């Protein structure tokens, strides 16, 4: 992978970090990863070495200052309430910005991307899952690492042709921040609607391990 490039997208206004292999070009797979609550755009760039060498990694920064909601000095994708509830308008505003950001990827990258995979950790995972379910056909897959499915998000029929993307949901069985019970609740909603789902559990708390990335990449490798 080449060095990290930082920028700010035009219409969305989101700041981002970008790592692209030297041979990347039109048709390359692009992984867009969203950081967790109170973090920043550079955090998940550390996962670059775990991804396939020919993938582009883009990590946008959330729009809300976390300090205003007591989340520390970093940034947030939405305001959290309790369990699987969020302040809906804050999440929807971020999803609208992600709409613009993904639409700007050809400008950000300098070429037209191929498969776009959206994922993230904690709040980033929740937001990625919500995006995939509410914007059918926009992404190839949604990756949720230790996030939850917001109660306010309607789960569409997974059989809609060309619509709901497959979901990878990795979760720590000892997660104290987003309890494993919330993962079970959200996964059951997805299964009930017929959404394609790969669910993997890990003997960890509220963090990520390389095995999760390998498992997610393996799922993406099965896609058409």
Q: Which domains does the chain have, with CATH numbers?
A: 4-221 (3.40.50.1820)
Distance CA 51, CA 64 (A): 28
Q: pLDDT grade, residue 163 (50/70/90)?
A: confident
In the annotation, is 214 catalytic?
Answer: no
pLDDT at 219 over 90: yes
* Tokens matching residue 68: 């205003």
Percent of the chain with pLDDT over 90: 90
Q: pLDDT grade, residue 160 (50/70/90)?
A: low
Antiparallel, parallel or unpaired: β 4-8 and 15-19: antiparallel
Distance CA 59, CA 121 (A): 11
Distance CA 91, CA 176 (A): 22
In the annotation, is 175 catalytic?
Answer: yes
In the annotation, is 122 catalytic?
Answer: yes
Length of the chain: 224
pTM: 0.96
Residue 162: the pLDDT is 56
CA 48 to chain centre: 15
Alpha-carbon dihedral sign for residues 216, 220, 221, 222: positive
- Write the DSSP string, 152-170: TS----TTSTT-SPPEEEE
Q: Which of 28, 122, 127, 128 is catalytic?
A: 122
* 3-class DSSP assignment, residue 184: helix
Q: Do 174 and 203 contact (CB within 8 A), yes or no?
A: yes
Q: Which of 40, 152, 206, 215 is catalytic?
A: 206
Q: pLDDT grade, residue 175 (50/70/90)?
A: very high
For 87-142, what is each residue's pLDDT tens digit? 999 999 999 999 999 999 999 999 999 999 999 999 999 999 999 999 989 999 99
């Amino acid at each position: 992978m080449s060095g990290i490039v930082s920028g700010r997208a035009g219409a969305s206004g989101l700041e981002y970090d970008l790592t692209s292999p030297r041979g990347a070009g039109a048709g390359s797979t692009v992984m867009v990863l969203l950081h967790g609550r109170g973090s920043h755009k550079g955090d998940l760039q550390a996962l670059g070495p775990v991804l396939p060498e020919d993938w582009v990694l883009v990590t946008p920064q959330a729009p809300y200052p976390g300090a205003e909601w007591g989340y520390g000095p970093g940034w947030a994708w939405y305001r959290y309430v309790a369990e699987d509830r969020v302040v809906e308008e804050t999440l929807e505003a971020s999803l609208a910005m992600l709409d613009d950001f993904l639409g700007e990827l050809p400008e950000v990258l300098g070429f037209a991307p191929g498969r776009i995979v959206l994922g993230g950790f904690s709040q980033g995972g929740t937001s990625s899952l919500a995006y995939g379910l509410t914007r059918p056909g926009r992404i190839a897959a949604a990756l949720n690492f230790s996030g939850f499915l917001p109660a306010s998000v309607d789960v569409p029929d997974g059989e809609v042709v060309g619509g709901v993307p497959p979901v990878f949901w990795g979760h720590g069985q000892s997660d104290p921040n987003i309890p494993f019970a919330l993962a079970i609740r959200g996964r059951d909603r997805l299964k009930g609607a017929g959404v394609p789902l790969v669910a993997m559990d890990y003997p960890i708390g509220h963090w990520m391990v390389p095995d999760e990335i390998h498992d997610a990449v393996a799922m993406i490798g099965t896609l058409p």
